[in-house]
A and B are shown apart, each in its own frame.
Chain A
């Protein structure tokens, strides 16, 4: 009993000293903290100093005090290296493995000659150069590890980014398909009426649209519209505008009244403060009478069967969605047999070429005049081709939309 009690504090003492030494080794050698960096710099400095001192000692006729100072310095260097060597053994998980490892042997070679032969084996200190190489090699290795790690992180982030982008792109493609799907694919069947249309968005999603609306009394509403800006916000506003206009067109058979109602409806649901230009007309397929109203849109053209071109230039009103309470006057035009109605957005007339020229209304009128005698499909394709040729390499900056209707064709 008595024997068991007495040694206990001693063991505890040994244990606590050992723990402190371990903690010190960790602090100076393993951690990457400021102490470890300072210690590493100290060792590096001492290596360089001691290698340099070999050269100094070999100077002939060195004063005695200098030789003495260098000897003291040598003792300090060996003491620090020995201290470091012991710490390294302590901190190594497997002591023997460290002692016989490449770096362990180099550390030993740096101090062993002193212990074996004292100050005589000066030239053996040149072996400390190996330590220098070792440190440099270690740093290169660490640098490589860091670079490798960063490269891997970058690769992972890139992969994640690419994945997110692919997902976004796929979703935009779906949205684009949905948007194109709500544009009418065919004009309501009426004897003598034939129509064609094309919408080419500038970005994945567009803000332009056209629509054919079957009205209760057999008449047909034709819409062409352009939302300010483009991209997803414009596409959303386009969908809202189209839905409102479609619903209100059935209830308000006067085009101006329909636009006024649609404008008020849009102003009430317009958080992004977008607006839309709309040309809306109602065709009576039996008589060729066209009633129309214009909310800030480009004036459409009528190409007469005989060749001349008129524009539907009755006074319009403000774009829709900007301000409530706007009035839109309704005008009337008479289509004759074989006349063509050409509706378009400013993406056509305001297409730029590489020298910053606008396509302009004149070029459009020329195309309509020269090629207006064919089918609506042919004219639509002809105009799109002409705009594309004109723009050349200049990227398309706005949505291009076009619809052509012939009335009373034989």
Chain B
């Protein structure tokens, strides 16, 4: 899978593309954790933009779980947005949407992240 990162002042968007499966999960987790610990200063929010994320396996879910915990430790707000229907189903079915915030789009995710900090 490919990964793009858009680092803005207050928020970093991570845009994974393709399949987040057993082989891709460790690299994905490492990349996002680098964003969280980037240059010793974590961004206020990290938002995963899932528009190009086609598939998440259970190993991929585990990567999200570990990232969410790392974000909590770093005091960074963490959320997902713009998930494709199949991926959103996986989050709902596994119960992950009850422990990781999933939003419709970037704007909502960003607004919620600000609200969480306010």
Contact = CB atoms under 8 A, between A and B. Distances in A.
A275 B58 CA distance: 9
Interface in A152-207: none
B115 interface: no
A interface bracket (residues with beta carbon within 8 Å of B): 20 to 34
Interface stretch (A93-101, A120-128, A224-232): A224-232
Contacts of B95: 295-296, 316-319, 326
Nearest to B69: A273
Contacts, number: 61
A358 B55 contact: yes
B59 A228 contact: yes
Contacts of B9: none
A358 B57 CA distance: 12
Interface in A247-284: 273-275, 277
Interface in A72-121: none
A229 B21 CA distance: 9
A229 B98 contact: no
A289 B98 CA distance: 30
Given A350-B55, A397-B21, A397-B22, A228 B61 contact: yes
Contacts of B94: 277, 296, 318-319
B58 A273 contact: no
B22 A296 contact: no
Q: Ordered nearest first, which 7 A-B pairs have the shortest CB separation?
A: A318-B95, A296-B94, A228-B58, A228-B62, A229-B59, A296-B95, A319-B94
Interface of A: 226-230, 273-275, 277, 295-299, 316-319, 322-323, 326, 346, 350, 356, 358, 397-398
7 contacts: A226-B58, A275-B65, A277-B94, A297-B93, A318-B99, A323-B99, A398-B57
